[in-house]
């Protein structure tokens, strides 16, 4: 018989249940409602021989210290229903106003589900006796009284995997751990081509399994089908990666001739170019973005790594004349081991933005990929070794934010932390970094950027910029021009042309080269977007186009535009992160400047006008790190990118990116007059 200990080790989420238990039925109903039931393995004790069930229940009780079921184990730790839902959130964000924690279903307002384990189905205010519970045994959830379940959560009993079938992988069981999984696997792309995908952790220039041999599933957003599994790093794996990075930093990498680092980065860029078609295909497969756009991403990656190669030997100090009695100079030195955490919207591009400048400056890195999009960074990592970059300089760990990310953010040997993601998670990262060893932190966070069209703008050019601003990369862009402001004299014309342009965009199969907008990265992101459609309707927005899912397979949504949106509406204020534009009219330049700046974010903005006076006046007053004039989402490797206000700290790209990865040392030598 498989032991309880082994079962807990083999499965990320494991739930102990009995069919007569109303708490179990409730938990199953909640997981079913939130589409995560297939990610949880159930041990149904009453579907096993009595002696086996009794023995297992004793073992589980010993492990958990609890006598009541259901008991939910997450990586060996006892968890509750709400905690489980949060851990299964693939967006790695804290509950937002669109999906607050309070929206999780509860049986009654008094039921403390935030720590749901133990207790009875009647809740704390009327704890049931053993006799009352006995009466519930064997009854279907549909026959339980409303006081226990509530009419809105009447689900039939959902039977799941029993212990007898746990030895075989159930169909579509996500995030399942395997005791053994290959360190690479052959992946066949939608275009019929195949490639070898690394699946291990990249530590010390080798792909290795995680210490606990745990893997998680990676999904193709366009088909909702499994691509492969990759190994999940936990604290002990992060420790190994940091040790490797520290050893490499203290070795020759940080003190070598900078030209050697530059040559290694140049070699890496050449290899990336040689593999560019495969990298673009992986990016499209893993993220769901259109393949034609993924090719553009990879081109930016190659250019940026080349740019970093050029910077390696140009990080010079300065001689400072302080008089004849002293010789004074400054020098720029690397910081040490850098922890880097990247998002899922531009996996490979964010990899390059983090790794490139860190290596050019002589640092070493431990980088965590987003759990939903780890594949392109893992593939690129094998090119790191081939480029001649020494072992331990680049280490890539796949994993989840609350485990792997926190292990990086809190690690005492990591001296610098860089994060790209949501503002809420950025706050958490900054706190953890401060509480550990006061790491130097750079953050590239959320946005709700203004895209402003004046009466005198060239309409065709402006429409192209509006489309690029909000529908590029399926709207999953931190700098997305999601708030569109149009001057009154051109308002209706822009609405007509913007609607027509949105409706001509091809949405669908990412590997069709005529597709402009692919899939959203996850079911959760799709649900979030559609949730904001409902909110915008309720708050009085006028739907111009879109606002619905496209098809029933894959996470596709139609390009969406709402007009007549006012500053008090949630769709106007909150970052949606999808192809969802809101349009607001304005009268004067000063009015639109005030509207644009009235936001907690300040990442980017666009201004569309033929007047250089208007463009200069408005851009000077906008509180944004990037302002694009008559263009949008227009990036270049030599131009810094980053945010004002709650959109971040520090800059990516350009010379300014190197500031994140160097520290200044002043040297002052006292001189004596020779005798």
- Catalytic residues, by residue number, are 444
Which neighbouring-strand residues pair with 374? none
State how far the alpha carbon of 348 is from the alpha carbons of 6, 200, 356, 488, in Å. Answer: 36, 17, 12, 41
Written as six digits, the tokens of 616 are: 């200069």
State how far the alpha carbon of 106 is from the alpha carbons of 113, 114, 351, in Å. Answer: 7, 10, 40
Cα distance between residue 658 and residue 245, in whole Å: 19
461-490 exposure pattern, b = at least 16 Cβ within 10 A, e = fewer: ebbbbbbbbbbbbbbbbbbbbbbbbbbeeb
| Neighbour tally for 666: CB within 10 Å | 11
**Angle, in degrees to the nearest 10, between helices 276-287 and 347-360:** 130
Cα distance between residue 383 and residue 352, in whole Å: 13
Give Dmax over CA atoms of the chain in angstroms: 104
Cα distance between residue 436 and residue 408, in whole Å: 10
| Neighbour tally for 506: CB within 10 Å | 13
Please state the φ and ψ torsions of residue 205, each to the nearest 5 degrees.
Answer: 65, 20
Written as six digits, the tokens of 617 are: 């006046």
Please state the φ and ψ torsions of residue 129, each to the nearest 5 degrees.
Answer: -85, 170
CA nearest to 431, candidates 452, 417, 447, 450: 417
CA nearest to 554, candidates 517, 520, 514: 520
**What is the 8-class DSSP label of residue 675?**
-
CA nearest to 245, candidates 373, 375, 334: 334
Question: Are 411 and 244 within 8 A, CB to CB?
Answer: no
Cα distance between residue 486 and residue 457, in whole Å: 10
Cα distance between residue 432 and residue 451, in whole Å: 35
| Neighbour tally for 106: CB within 10 Å | 20
Q: Which residues contact 143 (CB under 8 A, 6 or more apart)?
A: none
Cα distance between residue 281 and residue 170, in whole Å: 29
3-state secondary structure 638-653: CCCECCEECCEECCEC
**What is the 8-class DSSP label of residue 329?**
E
Place of tokens 């990498």: 253
Cα distance between residue 174 and residue 233, in whole Å: 17
String of DSSP letters for 67-129 = -SS-EEEETTEEE-HHHHHHHT-TT-----SSS-GGGS--SSTT--GGG-SSS-TT-GGGPPP
């Amino acid at each position: 018989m498989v032991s309880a200990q082994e079962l807990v080790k083999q499965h990320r989420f494991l739930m102990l249940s009995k069919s007569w238990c109303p708490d179990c039925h409730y938990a199953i109903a909640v997981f079913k409602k939130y589409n995560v039931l297939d990610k949880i393995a159930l041990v149904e004790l009453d579907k096993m021989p009595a002696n086996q069930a009794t023995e297992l229940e004793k073992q589980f009780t010993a492990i958990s210290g609890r006598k009541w079921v259901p008991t939910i184990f997450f990586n060996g730790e006892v968890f509750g229903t709400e905690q489980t839902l949060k851990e299964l959130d693939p967006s790695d964000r804290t509950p937002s106003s669109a999906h607050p924690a309070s929206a999780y279903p509860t049986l009654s307002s008094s039921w403390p589900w935030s720590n749901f384990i133990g207790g009875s189905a009647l809740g704390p205010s009327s704890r049931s006796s053993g006799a009352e519970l006995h009466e519930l045994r064997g009854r279907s959830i549909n026959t339980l009284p409303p006081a226990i379940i509530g009419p809105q959560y009447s689900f039939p009993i959902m039977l799941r995997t029993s212990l007898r079938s746990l030895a075989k992988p159930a169909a579509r069981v996500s995030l399942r751990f395997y005791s053994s999984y290959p360190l690479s696997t052959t992946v066949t792309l939608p275009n019929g081509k195949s490639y070898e995908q690394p699946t291990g952790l990249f530590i010390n220039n080798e792909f290795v399994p995680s210490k606990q041999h745990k893997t998680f599933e990676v999904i193709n957003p366009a088909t909702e089908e499994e691509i492969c599994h990759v190994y999940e790093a936990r604290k002990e794996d992060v420790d190994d990666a940091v040790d490797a990075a520290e050893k490499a930093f203290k070795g020759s990498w940080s003190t070598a001739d900078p030209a050697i680092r530059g040559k290694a980065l140049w070699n890496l860029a050449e290899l990336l170019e040689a593999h560019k078609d495969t990298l673009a295909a992986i990016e499209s497969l893993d993220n769901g973005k259109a393949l034609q756009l993924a090719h553009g991403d990879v081109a930016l990656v190659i250019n940026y790594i080349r740019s970093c190669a050029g910077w390696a030997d140009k990080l010079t100090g300065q001689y400072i004349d302080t008089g004849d009695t002293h010789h004074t100079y400054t020098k720029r030195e690397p910081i040490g081991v850098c922890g880097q955490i990247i998002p899922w919207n531009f996996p490979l591009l964010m990899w390059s933005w983090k790794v490139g400048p860190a290596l050019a400056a002589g640092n070493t890195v431990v980088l965590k990929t987003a759990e939903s999009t780890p594949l392109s960074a893992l593939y690129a990592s094998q090119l790191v070794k081939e480029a001649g970059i020494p072992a331990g300089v680049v280490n890539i760990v796949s994993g989840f934010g609350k485990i792997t990310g926190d292990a990086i953010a809190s690690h005492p040997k990591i001296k610098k932390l860089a994060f790209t993601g949501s503002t809420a998670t950025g706050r958490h990262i900054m706190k953890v970094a401060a509480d550990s060893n006061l790491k130097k932190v750079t953050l590239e966070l959320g946005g709700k950027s203004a895209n402003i069209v004046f009466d005198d703008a060239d309409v065709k050019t402006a429409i192209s910029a509006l489309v690029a601003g909000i529908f590029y990369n399926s709207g999953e862009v931190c700098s997305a021009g999601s708030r569109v402001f149009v001057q009154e004299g051109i308002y209706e014309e822009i609405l007509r042309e913007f609607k027509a342009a949105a409706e001509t965009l091809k949405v669908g199969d990412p590997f069709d080269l005529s597709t402009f907008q692919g899939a959203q990265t996850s079911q959760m992101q799709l649900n979030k977007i559609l949730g904001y459609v409902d909110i915008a309707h309720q708050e009085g927005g006028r739907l111009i186009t879109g606002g619905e899912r496209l098809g029933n397979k894959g996470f596709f949504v139609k390009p969406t535009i709402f007009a007549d949106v006012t500053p008090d509406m949630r769709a106007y204020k909150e970052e949606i992160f999808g192809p969802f534009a809101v349009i607001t009219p304005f009268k004067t330049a000063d009015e639109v400047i005030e509207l644009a700046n009235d936001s907690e974010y300040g990442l980017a903005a666009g201004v569309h006008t033929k007047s250089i006076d208007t463009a200069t006046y408005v851009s000077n007053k906008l509180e944004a790190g990037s302002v694009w004039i008559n263009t949008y989402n227009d990036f270049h490797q030599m131009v810094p990118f980053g945010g004002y206000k709650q959109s971040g700290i520090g800059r990516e790209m350009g010379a300014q990116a190197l500031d994140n990865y160097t520290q200044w040392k002043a040297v002052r030598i006292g001189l004596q007059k020779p005798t």
